[in-house]
Structure 1
Amino acid sequence: MNNTLQNLPTGAESLLIALATPAPRGDVGIPVLLWGRPGVGKSSFIEGLAHEQLPVTTLIASIHDPTDFSGLPVLEDGRVRYAVPRWVDDFPDDGDGILFLDELSTAPPSVQSALLRVVFERKVGFHPLPPGVRIVAAANPPDLMVGGWELSPPLRNRFVHLNWDVSTDLYVHSLTSGWEPGALPQVDVSAHAQKLRFFQTRIAGFLRVKPDALHANPEENKYGFASPRSWDFAAALLATADLLGYRIDDDTNNQVLFELTTGCLGEATAIMLLEYLRNLRLPDPKEVLTGQVSVPVEDLDDSELFVLFAGLNDYLKKELDSDRLLTWSEPYLDLAARAFADGRRDVIFVPLKELAGTTWLVRLMAKGQAAGPDKFSAISASINGLFSDEGLREFIEVLS
């Protein structure tokens, strides 16, 4: 994807990635808020994405009443229900679409409050939007707002924030060649789920090193800021970007990945995260489990060791019914024992507990028994050496 989009405004590539991303709540699209000066084509680009299977409905936030987003209370048979506004009917129940909330910064606080549920819970009153409907908003930057309202932190935290701009060169190009239309990429949901786990484990490793990065002060970030919700957004967006060819270790992708992570977490946290991800020194988990690679535990820092074990867990959990379970578990047990010997039990306690919480141990013992007394004895000794550890038992009891 990233090799084909050469003549789009700043922020457009990141926007298309966000709209194509399977959302953490099971819908499609991470909500996006485009910040750009008047006249740079925010509305035109969004409305230009429309086609027969992708209707776009534009609502100017400032000219709507809160009931246009929360539903109008109606008394019926002695009970109050919320009548759904007509614009909801623009979207077929089983189809795709884009709800475009333009001029969001001109919406008064009462309308902003009504939009909280629409943006994150994807409900108008108690009526859910179809899962294929993406949500995009647009606003003028704070320094260009005249007579508007600042967005509340709860509303800001429900978007990935992207700066939108048109360079002089792009505008000159458009005068002779026209504007390049955008097109939504397609993302396989199952492939995204696997890649999402990949980035979740790496973000978990980062937060072990920088635990204070989980939360950020909204007042210190004028757009996006870190919270558990926006970390979920960042993981999902990085997974989509990777599937579409935007690699962390490829310098040509720096701008798009920076836009996406900054839009979720704020600039300072995004810089630290991307630097961490680029500098991770991790072998392929499958090569570790198959014995192709030997891992010097002492060469890995705590976060790298944590991420490595989380990745090994993902592979082993897929092999619970496989004949490979025994041979793949032996390097895992050896690596865990070496981590214990290196004095870093606490680093791998959580991954060990997670794997032990599956049927792994039972199945592994059965595989060892079937392989003969020598193999069963060796596997039993390895397991007992780990799980009889006093520190591990105490830790598991605390977590249970």
Structure 2
Amino acid sequence: MADLATAVTVLDACGRAGVPSLLLSKPGMGKSSVVRALAAAEQVPCKTVLGSLREPADFAGLPVVTADGVKLEAPTWARELHAAGCGYVFLDELTTSAPTVQAAMLAVALDRVVGDLALPDRVRIVAGANPPDSAAGGYELEPPLANRFCHVMFAPSVDDWLDGMTAGWVSPPASRAVSTDLQRQAAARGAVIGFVRSRPDLLDAFPVSVAQRGGAWPSRRTWAMVAGVLPYLRDSDTAAVHAVVLGLVGEGAGVEFLSWRQMMDLPDPVSVIEDPTCVDWSSRPDRVWAVLAGVTAWAASRGTVEAWRSAWGPLVAAAEAGAPDVAGAAARTLAQTRPAKASVPAAARRFAPMLVAAGLTKDAA
């Protein structure tokens, strides 16, 4: 369960990463007030849309015949957010939305597309819901829609309520989310890649239980979301990190990933590139996978010749220290991201078969 400060932090981190979030709590916990207060604090518009009062066309667009053909016209709330260039879409009472309406929300939730109108990147998608057993005329969330959200179990403390009563519910606590950079993004991506390589059965684990399908569960999409949101959180912010991971891939896979990540104690990619000897390359293969995946992701994100060439150093060190298979797989990935006119370092010739397959034969010679 996330208290108010943690919920605000998770909503902020998800918003920065472009990941939709879903506040879940019993009735009367103040979900709507939190979202409206965040919008007011940021001085951006907040449009509340109740699916129980809407038709599918309110999300998929209303067909309108024009001189150029049929256009799917977006409703007023979407056009106003588009004009503002930022703000919040608050899909309130989500579990009262009929399955047909939920289906129409799919593109809105993940792609911020309403009809033929694409909302700006600075428009954040947040939903609120009570569990189906306490919602008025409630429905379970359909699996495709549930898998598009970070599910945040919201339980404000007594102190949170007292502070809100005192301040008038207009001053949400400060977010603990942080700015990110390519290094943090690469490290998070490497951790997810390393874990999934060690537990490929958890890449796609569609729940057997109907009730669980309406919650958080691991899929290719939600693992990518984990890698996208974690860079906006401090590693030391345990409450927010746990809320994000469990809210995206579910408790089973999430707890296992968090335990694995803590045990691996992964270094940041730039430190590894600067000094490959800082890693024990003879350690667990899944740790080596994660480290090299982070290095490769950093080089690919930078996109420069210098970064690409420097990333070969850790791969060579890993191969020479007894992890040639892992290093070879990383070499294939790194070779595919070569910038134009980048030559392969001489030390990387040991990966000649991979370089030949990637079309880098002349550079490897």
Give the whole-Å Cα distance in 2 for the aligned partners of 1:163 and 1:324.
41
Larger Rg: 1
Give the whole-Å Cα distance in 2 for the aligned partners of 1:323 and 1:206.
25
Q: 1:181 aligns with which of 172, 175, 178?
A: 172
- Structure 2 residues not aligned, in runs of 5+: 360-365
Partner of 1:376: none
Partner of 1:199: 188
Q: Compute the displacement of 1:69 (Å).
A: 1.1
Q: 2:29 aligns with which of 15, 34, 40?
A: 40
Partner of 1:256: 240
Q: Compute the displacement of 1:63 (Å).
A: 0.8
Tell me the SS of whatever aligns to 1:363.
coil
Q: 1:8 aligns with which of 4, 14, 23?
A: 4
Tell me the SS of whatever aligns to 2:124.
strand
Give the whole-Å Cα distance in 1 for the aligned partners of 2:278 and 2:21.
43
Distance 1:213 1:322, change over 3 A: closer
Tell me the SS of whatever aligns to 1:11.
helix
Q: Compute the displacement of 1:117 (Å).
A: 1.3
- Structure 1 residues not aligned, in runs of 5+: 1-5, 24-29, 366-378
1:110 is aligned to 2:100: yes
Give the whole-Å Cα distance in 2 for the aligned partners of 1:323 and 1:95.
35
Tell me the SS of whatever aligns to 1:218.
coil
Give the CA RMSD over aligned residues: 3.3
Partner of 1:350: 329
Partner of 1:369: none
Partner of 2:362: none
Map 1:1-400 onto structure 2 (within 5 A). 8=4, 11-19=7-15, 21-23=16-18, 30-51=19-40, 53-77=43-67, 79-93=69-83, 95-176=85-166, 179=169, 180-182=171-173, 188=179, 191-220=180-209, 221=212, 222-241=214-233, 246-247=234-235, 250=236, 253-283=237-267, 285-291=269-275, 293=277, 295-298=279-282, 300-313=283-296, 321-322=305-306, 332-339=315-322, 344-357=323-336, 358=338, 363-364=343-344, 379=346, 382-387=347-352
Task: Name which of structure 1's ranges 77-86 and 135-144 shifts more when overlaid on structure 2.
Answer: 77-86
Identity %: 31
Give the whole-Å Cα distance in 2 for the aligned partners of 1:360 and 1:77.
45
CA contact (8 A) 2:13 2:177 kept: no
AA partner of residue 338 (structure 1): A
AA partner of residue 69 (structure 1): F
Give the whole-Å Cα distance in 2 for the aligned partners of 1:288 and 1:345.
17
TM-score, normalised by the number of residues in structure 1 = 0.76
Distance 1:66 1:92, change over 3 A: closer
Q: Deviations over 1:126-155 (max 9, x none)?
A: 111122111111111133134221110001
